[in-house]
């Protein structure tokens, strides 16, 4: 079974609809992230969470909200979807574990959700 | 602000050729991590390597090797004897100590096409 799962894998919706993308992980990591990928732009960070009570905005948080329901679950919501939110969305997790006082943080990604807003 | 530049947008090679993907980064931190990820046509992002700023030793893993040079702020990735299965988009990324390694800054990626 995959360590980081995302549902749905593909979604087509209409402008103005509310949509939620879900992410679950079995890696036991405390940090979780949401990114979007657009052709030619690489990946850009939307939100990240260090633990259930810690939520932080990323580079492009406008138009999005998140919920960390549990250590293993991190959801991304588009309250009123618009066409320029059409993109590939990735969830990622990492561990804040450290070695010799230095973080060994590495982010591991889910399979992605392809979202199309018409 | 931190920045990662992958100047090569697309590279095409024939199988068995060697190919180097360039990555240049900018950071004010003295402590940071550099990463390479692979995104095959299926779309998932696969972690390849992490290198910390204190370790400039080159690394080799099978046909893959990485050359980290702080003097030129570069972390280049070489595939030796490329294969069709190496066709993918490759991303270089940076994570800084000043952010608690909380965020990754990605380059825009290099698409590698390996033809038979």
In tens, the pLDDT along B68-99 reads 999 999 999 999 999 999 999 999 999 988 88
How far is the C-alpha of B14 from the C-alpha of B85, rounded, in Å?
Answer: 12
Could you tell me which residues come within 8 angstroms of residue A2 by beta carbon, excluding any fewer than 6 positions away?
A: A110, A111
Residue among A40, A48, A109 whose CB faces B102 most closely: A48
C-alpha to C-alpha distances, B66 to A88, B20, B24, B55, B80, nearest whole angstrom = 28, 9, 13, 12, 11
Residues of chain A contacting B97 with CB distance shorter than 8 Å:
102-103
Q: State the nearest Cα–Cα gap between A63 and chain B, in angstroms.
A: 20
Query: What single-letter DSSP state applies at residue A30?
Result: S
Q: Is the pLDDT of residue B16 over 70?
A: yes
Check residue A1 and give its pLDDT: 57
| Per-residue pLDDT band at A101 (split at 50, 70, 90) | very low
Q: Is the pLDDT of residue B2 over 90?
A: no
Q: Is the pLDDT of residue B12 over 80?
A: yes
- Write down the mean pLDDT value for chain B: 92
Q: Which of B52, B89, B101 to mutate to test the interface with A (most CBs of A within 10 A)?
A: B101
**Low-confidence winner among A15-24, A41-50, A80-89 (lowest mean pLDDT):** A41-50
CA-only gyration radius of chain B, Å: 14
Single out the residue of A83, A91, A76 nearest to residue A35, CA to CA. Answer: A91
With contact defined as beta carbons under 8 Å apart, do A47 and A62 qualify?
Answer: no
How far is the C-alpha of A66 from the C-alpha of B28, rounded, in Å?
Answer: 30
Residues of chain A contacting B101 with CB distance shorter than 8 Å:
94, 103, 105
In tens, the pLDDT along B40-51 reads 999 999 999 999
Q: Is the pLDDT of residue A6 over 70?
A: yes
Residues of chain A contacting B43 with CB distance shorter than 8 Å:
88, 111-112, 114
């Amino acid at each position: 079974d995959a360590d980081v799962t995302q549902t749905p894998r593909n979604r087509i919706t209409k402008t103005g609809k509310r949509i939620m993308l879900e992410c679950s992980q079995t890696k036991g990591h405390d940090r979780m992230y949401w990114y979007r990928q657009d052709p030619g732009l690489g990946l850009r960070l939307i939100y990240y969470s260090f633990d259930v009570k810690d939520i932080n905005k990323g580079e492009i948080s406008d138009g999005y909200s998140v919920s960390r329901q549990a250590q293993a679950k991190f959801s991304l919501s588009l309250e009123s979807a618009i066409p320029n939110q059409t993109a590939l969305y990735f969830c990622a997790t990492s561990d804040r574990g450290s070695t010799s006082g230095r973080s060994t943080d590495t982010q591991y990604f889910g399979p992605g959700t392809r979202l199309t807003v018409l | 602000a931190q920045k990662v530049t992958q100047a090569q947008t697309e590279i095409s090679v024939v199988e068995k050729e060697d190919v180097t993907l360039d990555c240049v980064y900018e950071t004010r931190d003295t402590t940071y991590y550099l990463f390479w990820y692979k995104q095959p046509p299926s779309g998932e992002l696969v972690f390849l390597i992490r290198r910390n700023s204190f370790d400039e030793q080159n690394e080799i893993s099978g046909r893959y090797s990485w050359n980290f040079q702080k003097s030129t702020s570069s972390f280049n990735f070489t595939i030796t004897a490329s294969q069709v299965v190496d066709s993918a988009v490759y991303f270089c990324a940076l994570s800084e100590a000043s952010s608690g390694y909380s965020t990754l800054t990605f380059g825009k990626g290099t698409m590698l096409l390996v033809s038979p």
